[in-house]
Amino acid sequence: VDIPIADIYNFLGLDEESTGIIAEDEAQELGFNRDKIRLYKNSYAKGSLKPIIHILKDGRKQVYYKTFCFKVFAGEKVPSDKGFNERLAVIHMVQGHTEKNIKRLQGNEKYSLEKLRKQLLVWKMQNTENGLDQSDSGLKARDQELWEDYLRILMGTKYEEASKQVVQFYTEQRHEKIWNSLEARIFKLVVENMKDYAVVSEELWQSLISGKDISGDLDRATFTEHETGKKISRNTLAKLISEKFHGIKKSKYEEKDGRSHKITSYMFDQKVIEKLSTKYNVVMGLDDFPSGVSGNIGQDSS
């Protein structure tokens, strides 16, 4: 059910993280609840804190809620928020018939659940003080934040190998989604049109609307991409280049046919392009670099 945001904070508390599990049903519209989305996006890693100011009779008091815990969401579709989705392990399901009903426990089923609950509590108490054994998972960046503790919990158990397969599946799924995103495909166009780390804005636009690399339709000044249905204009493309790819806008005037024409270009930093090439799995050729710069970029993903 839809849990009020105030109830979530009261449940999480101020004293200890991972005090319980949040399970929220009907989560398909979660993307429209900005307060919840901000909370969930910033609470997937250990040590996450959310500062809240409470208005009291004698003034204000700032407190810090410990927001990290295990969270489960169920809904008819995945919420639309991009940042939230990048932090999820999505499991697609179809309607089925369960062997047992949690609402109608029979025989010793209630006893078994209570026993498991107590065992988990004992396990938590045993590991709270010393923590889990360290492991070198080889994961990096967000993959490490999302999955390393999961691997540490199951390390040395009969589920260790299965847990590694789970992590491999979901990390590959996450990276495939990033590599095939519209953002990644536009970055590839930037690389293909780049000369000495510069791209002419109009040349990039014409490359986009040609439909050769990104399928879509042009309606006046707006290009609608087929796969996602997203609409792109010159302005939204410029915003993407500046904000996501860190392009620096430059303008100059050239004489042509007796008239002065304004030419807009974007300059890029080499290190930024290299990092983005890795993120989007774009392999850069030697022709994409100024002389003396290696083109062996984009082979690995972090």
For residue 199 the two structure tokens come to 């791209």
pLDDT at 285: 59
What's the one-letter identity of residue 36? K
Rounded Cα distance, 302 and 283, in Å = 15
Rounded Cα distance, 48 and 185, in Å = 33
pLDDT at 63: 93
Closest CA to 66 of 11, 21, 26: 11
> Tokens 């999505």 label which residue?
90
Q: Return averaged pLDDT per consecutive 10 residues of the chain, 302 residues in all.
A: 86 88 89 90 89 89 92 89 86 84 86 92 82 82 88 90 94 89 92 92 90 81 84 91 94 83 92 92 62 40 42
pLDDT at 290: 47
pLDDT at 295: 39
Residues contacting 41, CB < 8 A, separation 6+? 81, 83, 84, 87
Question: What DSSP letter does each residue of 6-56 carry, written as one string?
Answer: HHHHHHH-SS-S--SEEEESSGGGGGG-HHHHHHHHT-SSTT-EEEEEEEE
DSSP letter assigned to residue 106: -
pLDDT at 269: 94
What Cα–Cα distance (Å) separates residue 257 from each residue in 165, 252, 254, 261, 302? 63, 16, 10, 10, 49
pLDDT at 131: 74
pLDDT at 297: 36
Query: In 129-181, which residue ranges form alpha helices assigned H by DSSP?
Result: 141-154, 160-179
**Domain boundaries defined on the chain:** 1-94, 103-179, 182-288
pLDDT at 64: 94
CB neighbours (10 Å) of residue 69?
A: 18
CATH architecture classification, 182-288: Orthogonal Bundle (1.10)
Q: Give the burial class of 79: count Cβ atoms within 10 A of its Cβ; 0-12 exposed, 13-18 middle, 19 or more buried.
A: buried
Give the pTM: 0.70
Rounded Cα distance, 282 and 275, in Å = 10
Distance from chain centroid for Cα 204: 27
Q: Give the burial class of 175: count Cβ atoms within 10 A of its Cβ; 0-12 exposed, 13-18 middle, 19 or more buried.
A: middle
